[in-house]
């Protein structure tokens, strides 16, 4: 009886590990020759947004509203946006997944579906990149009538 318990525990332990890790971003994709941990000559990308907050004002419920956050890579290395994710399924970000060279501009288009929402709404968009700091937060808000 004791061996059945041990066997069950071993099966549970080994079956819970995910060996495939499909859908995850490889660290080598966003690796930078000079990372924040060992950088001695400031060869890092810098993510400089024109704005990090946008208020749509008053909108009708059911509308799909858009805003584009523009940014520039003001650093000295290629900028890679690894992940851009919204705090809610009603908010969908779109961005170019190609590296952005120093001095080049990029954008993140955010679409907010107001269906089923009322009153003051605020949503956040997390931008993970190889810049320092690695995560930036954008915010959109609207008063839905």
What domains lie within the chain, and their CATH numbers?
43-144 (2.60.40.10)
Asked if the model's pLDDT at residue 26 lies above 70, the reply is no
Lowest mean pLDDT among 10-24, 79-93, 96-110: 10-24
Tell me the per-residue pLDDT of 129-139, one tens digit each, with 9 for 90 and over. 999 899 999 99
* Mean pLDDT within 26-42: 50
Tell me the per-residue pLDDT of 60-102, one tens digit each, with 9 for 90 and over. 999 999 999 999 999 999 999 999 999 999 999 999 999 999 9
pTM above 0.85, yes or no: no
Q: What is the DSSP string of the chain?
A: -HHHHHHHHHHHHHHT--SS-TTPPPTTTS--SS-TTT-SS-----EEES-SEEEEEEE-TT-EEEEEEEEEE-SSS-B-EEEEEESSTTEEEEE--S-B-TT-EEEEEEEEE-TT--EEEEEEEEEEESSSSSEEEEEEEEEE-
């Amino acid at each position: 009886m004791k061996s059945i318990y041990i066997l069950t525990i071993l099966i549970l332990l080994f079956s819970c590990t995910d060996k495939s890790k499909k859908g995850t971003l490889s660290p080598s994709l966003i690796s930078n020759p000079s990372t924040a941990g060992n950088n001695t000559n400031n060869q890092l990308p810098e993510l400089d947004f024109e704005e990090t907050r946008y208020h749509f004002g008053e909108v009708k419920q059911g509308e799909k509203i858009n805003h584009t956050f523009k940014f520039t890579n003001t650093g000295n290395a290629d900028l890679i946006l690894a992940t851009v994710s919204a705090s809610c399924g009603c908010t969908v970000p779109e961005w170019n997944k190609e590296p952005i060279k120093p001095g080049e501009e990029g954008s993140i288009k955010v679409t907010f579906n107001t269906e089923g929402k009322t009153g003051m709404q605020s949503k956040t968009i997390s931008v993970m990149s190889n810049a320092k700091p690695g995560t930036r937060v954008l915010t959109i808000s609207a008063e839905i009538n």
